[in-house]
Structure 1
Amino acid sequence: MHYSLLLHHPEQDATTLGEDAIRSGQAAFSAYARALQDAGVLVSAEVLQHSTATTTLRKVDGELVIQDGPFADTKEQLGGSIVVDVEDLDAAIEWARQAPPIDWGVVEIRPGATYTVNGAWTPNG
């Protein structure tokens, strides 16, 4: 079963974080990615650019509105995602609890689904 681990964390720039925190975070993510890969559960991983690089689209009164930046005004932003292929939610929780952002943000788990030819969404698995 595919689960997406959505990594939310407070956004800070390199100046605010400092070089030591950046090095430590990069090392933690590298070790985590290596553990996922060594276990054979890593499907994909993607780090997202800062939310200021976001373009948000929505319709207001039937008209398309394009906005620079994130739609939600929140302190935590989606920073990346990791897709794992594991047996069940318990296994996904075990991997999510090891994700580095758990120490400074939130890790959300969502099961994946596939849109099929007959128009139904079915769980990936």
Structure 2
Amino acid sequence: MPETAERIVWSCRDILAPFRWASRAVVRVAPDLFEPEVRGKFRDEVFATMALCPELRFELRTAHPRRYQEFVRTLAEDQAEYLAWRVSAATILRKLGRALEASGPGPQWPLRNVVLVD
């Protein structure tokens, strides 16, 4: 009998929580990251955590899918924006005591483990 993936709701308050979860868990990201009042730095940190946890599947729900598409496209195409996002990823790694891992090419956009769901 196939094993069912653990389902988790993540409020994003504990930015490091996903690093403690089992591989192949399905994580529903609770806040709408593309609401107008959500700050770019917070969104960048959440996406950095998701990028650094490729063994988890993250499901995003948003009332603003165009903002999501724009965010992903900007990171994929704009080197300056991508480098700013990489600072958030380096911050997360530093919080984990893994600062030496902050070099390298980084992930491809869109992230394979992040999906927009209805």
Bin for the TM-score computed over the shorter chain: under 0.3
TM, length-normalised to structure 1: 0.26
Q: Which has the higher strand share?
A: 1
TM-score, scaled to structure 2: 0.28
Structure having the higher helix fraction is 2
Q: Which has the larger radius of gyration?
A: 1
